[in-house]
A and B are shown apart, each in its own frame.
Chain A
């Protein structure tokens, strides 16, 4: 992800995007698709849901592309849209889960998808238990290496509250992961 790409490649420090330009938006898409997907994977149920939401987010962003102001980093602006799409997606997921559960009652469970198994991790489970914006803040800082300003734009919060939000998210995440480990030890 960001660690693999140089700072020159970063879309939010490259002010060459023109609002409303389809060619520029296509470039933005190619530059930031994976980072947006990476953030949404930690917020949503699985990779396919995250891919779907990522496409939805780019669709919405394209509609609003004319209104984007270059003073806000483009990728942070995209993240803001994507996080909102994911929050709405989570609501739909919860409704679908109830429906799927009702359908499954009395039937044998289907074998697990190998792709889902590969992404199974205590950290992901814990991240998905966090409030969506807290999970996003963790990924934006500890994976994408965003600055406080970029996180503030992405989460639609004042810059001065980012540090406290991050501290709260980390503390909650640590508790959740320690709880999971303690549970595993007790079972073991």
Chain B
């Protein structure tokens, strides 16, 4: 029991030897808590990157919708004038660019990519529909015939948009 008492005394002496000097040290100012809480943390760091991506996504989606509108207009009116197309694309890209700029993103890569995809799909659809319409009677003939027909009846743009071969027949 005496040994235990001695050990406790030794323990206390040693603790004071080590820790007493801390009493002389100055107390640093208290660290200010991070204000803003959950929302700020969410919007900062990775949250900001996520937010930017979301904003970019929304802008590109808006642009895609605009591009779809252009394509629809072409399909409905049958106007395939490259000048009109160029103006529409420029307008759509500008809109997308403005949206992206507002969200803090630079460059028009996503916009161009989106309209190119949209245009590609439109062209592909037109090809398909042209084949279906143009070859309605000549279904038994080869595909080459349909191209020939397009060339003979087209308005000069048929090589770009085969659907134009039957342009007069479209609404």
Binding site for B on A (CB under 8 A): 1, 3-4, 26, 29-30, 33-34, 37-38, 41-42, 51, 55, 58-59, 62-63, 119, 121, 123-124, 138-139, 142-143, 170, 173-174
- Chain B contact-residue range equals 20 to 34
A119 to B7 alpha-carbon distance, docked (Å): 20
A51 to B31 alpha-carbon distance, docked (Å): 11
- Other-chain residue from A33, A41, A55 in contact with B19 (beta carbon distance below 8 A): A41
Residue interface mask B71-92, A partner, CB < 8 A = 1: 0000000000000000000000
Which residue on B lies nearest to A2, using beta carbons?
B23
Given contacts A30-B27, A170-B7, are A121 and B19 in contact (CB under 8 A)?
no
- Which residues of chain B from 6 to 49 have a CB within 8 Å of any chain A CB? 7-8, 11-12, 14-20, 22-23, 25, 27-28, 30-31, 33
- Residue B4 lies at the interface, judged by CB distance under 8 Å to chain A: yes
A59 to B14 alpha-carbon distance, docked (Å): 30
Tell whether, in the assembled complex, residue A4 and residue B23 are in contact, meaning their CB atoms are under 8 Å apart.
yes
Q: Which 7 A-B pairs have the closest CB atoms?
A: A143-B15, A55-B31, A38-B19, A123-B14, A33-B27, A142-B12, A29-B30
Binding site for A on B (CB under 8 A): 4, 7-8, 11-12, 14-20, 22-23, 25, 27-28, 30-31, 33
Which residue on B lies nearest to A121, using beta carbons?
B18
- For B17, the chain A residues whose CB sits under 8 A away are 121
- For A58, the chain B residues whose CB sits under 8 A away are 30-31
What are 16 sample pairs from A and B whose C-beta atoms fall under 8 A apart? A1-B16, A1-B22, A1-B23, A4-B20, A34-B25, A38-B19, A41-B19, A42-B18, A51-B28, A58-B31, A63-B33, A121-B18, A139-B15, A142-B12, A142-B15, A173-B11
